[in-house]
Amino acid sequence: MAVAIDKSNCVGCGECVQQCPLDALKIEDTKAVVDEGTCAECGACIDACSEKAITL
């Protein structure tokens, strides 16, 4: 399991990437993408996203 990223809301700011303790997020083609095998569903990136683009 992993967070879901709504690409239509993501503005590619990279805040979530900075906050992920497991390095499970990266920016690809100006949108955040999650490595589903790495994400531990800690929720840190959800709070970091001002666009509310990340959900569990």
Q: At its nearest, how many Å lie between ligand SF4 and the CB of residue 9?
A: 7
Q: What are phi and psi of 25, to 5 degrees?
A: -115, 150
Q: At its nearest, how many Å lie between ligand SF4 and the CB of residue 50?
A: 7
Q: At its nearest, how many Å lie between ligand SF4 and the CB of residue 17?
A: 7
Q: Is 24 exposed, middle or buried (0-12, 13-18, 19+ CB in 10 A)?
A: buried
| Residues of this chain that bind ligand SF4 (CB under 6 A) | 3, 5, 10-16, 19-20, 22, 24-25, 32, 34, 39-45, 48-49, 51, 53-54
